[in-house]
Amino acid sequence: MPSYQPKPEHKFTFGLWTVGNIGRDPFGEPVRHKLSPVEIVHLLAEVGAYGVNLHDNDLVPIDATVAERDRIVAEFKEALAATGLVVPMATTNLFSDPAFKDGAFSANDPRVRAYALQKTMHAIDLGAELGARVYVFWGGREGVETDAAKDPIAAIKRTREAMNFLCEYAIDQGYDLKFALEAKPNEPRGDMYNSTTGHILAFIESLDHPEMVGVNPEVAHEHMAGLNFLHGVAQAWETGKLFHIDLNDQAFGRYDQDFRFGAVNLKSAFFLVKFLEDVGYGGSRHFDAHAYRTEDYEGVRDFARGCMRTYLILKEKAAAWNQDAEIAALVKEINADDGAMAPYTGAYSRDKARALKAAAFDRVALGARGLAYERLDQLTIEVLLGVR
């Protein structure tokens, strides 16, 4: 039996806020005591994670003095050195403090926008100091409850101005840092701007430094919007923009659930893992999820181990799918190309267009052909159910 043991090369990471989640929700108080960042690093090392990600304030309280900050960061670095954990990604908390109740970069108040920039520059410095190479932007409060409150075009322009400012800042400091923007359709705001990965991919192209900005898609966020997560990830990958990924799970149509990876939609998790492994995605596999509120810290360990174990099992299933002779034959048949259409298709030419307009097609035969997708999908299910 394979051990499904996580290894550094799998690049499994967790945020301080994920395993450190104390189980507060809108209806109930915390169910777990708060662990210190150092304790979280040790917990993650124990379960076999490769790295730990953080918001500035997961580590350094928002009102810490410079001396307190330096002491906290030094202790954290000691824990990293003792465990071998790395910090591949850092981000800014621009949503918890009441100052950000109307957003950060898109807020109507110019002082809030400027404070958000200041806070992010300090947080970028912290991330760079800890060795992060990816800096995530999740616009937690960038949105509205009513469109009377904000001009959506102003929101886009303000966000662009902020991203351009911060790209220049990172370049000016000589940081080796890429930015990854994370979409979410709603929660905590009624509606959030840049609501899907697709919106963000289009937005990035309007920035001054599109080459240093990519995306951090999250399973739950696209599922909340009823979308096919894999398709968004594929679009990001195909344009060279998949800089980071947030793995978790979520039932469609529900509030933000942040379940253990693979806990709800095993089949979509399978196709996602298969995609990441087939294309050779080399970034972090970041589990942005948390344990059920019913759990104590033993349950939190079960949760974290479960995320990684399910990923590794699905990776093995993906290899089995790729190696299955019957599946391979069907895939070959589905994609068969006898070359007969080559003279008409591909790059445009006037001659090709003329020839194609005159070509004869047996439309009825095209429509009559069965495609065997039922068989292929059932074979996939049987791989997943462990009977192949």
Catalytic center residues: 55, 58
Of the candidate residues 124, 288, 306, 315, the single one contacting ligand GCO (CB under 6 A): 288
Nearest approach, Cβ of residue 113 and ligand GCO (Å):
19
Q: Does 142 bind Mn ion (CB under 5 A)?
A: no
Residue 112 contacts by C-beta under 8 Å, 6 or more apart in sequence? 99, 100, 102, 103, 104
Q: Using an 8 Å Cβ cutoff, are 295 and 21 in contact?
A: no
What percent helix, strand, coil does the chain show, rounded to 5?
Answer: 50, 10, 40
- Phi then psi for residue 61, to 5 deg, are -55, 150
The reply to whether 246 sits near Mn ion by the rule CB under 5 A is yes
CB of 177 to ligand GCO, least distance (A): 15
Kindly list the distances between the CA atom of residue 209 and the CA atoms of 118, 132, 163, 169, in Å, as whole numbers in the listed order: 20, 19, 9, 12
> What mask of x and - would describe binding to Mn ion in positions 200 to 239, judged by CB under 5 A?
------------------x---------------------
Tell me, residue by residue from 36 to 65, as one string, x for binding to ligand GCO by CB under 6 A and - for no binding: -------------------x----------
**Residue 288 within binding range of Mn ion, rule CB under 5 A:** yes
Q: What is the largest CA-CA distance in the chain?
A: 78
Minimum distance from CB of 246 to Mn ion (Å)? 4
Pick one of ligand GCO, Mn ion, none as the site partner of residue 112 (Cβ within 5 to 8 A by kind): none
Inter-residue contact 99 to 112 (CB < 8 Å): yes
**Residues in binding contact with ligand GCO, number by CB under 6 A:** 10
141 binds, among ligand GCO, Mn ion, none (CB under 5 to 8 A by kind): none
- Residue 294 sits at φ, ψ, to 5 deg, of -80, -10
| Cα 15 from Cα 41, distance rounded (Å) | 10
Which tokens hold the place of 378? 């059932």
d(CA 350, CA 15): 55
- 75 contacts ligand GCO (rule: CB under 6 A): no
Give me the residues that bind ligand GCO (CB under 6 A), please.
Answer: 55, 91, 136, 138, 182, 184, 218, 246, 256, 288
Give me the residues that bind Mn ion (CB under 5 A), please.
Answer: 218, 246, 288
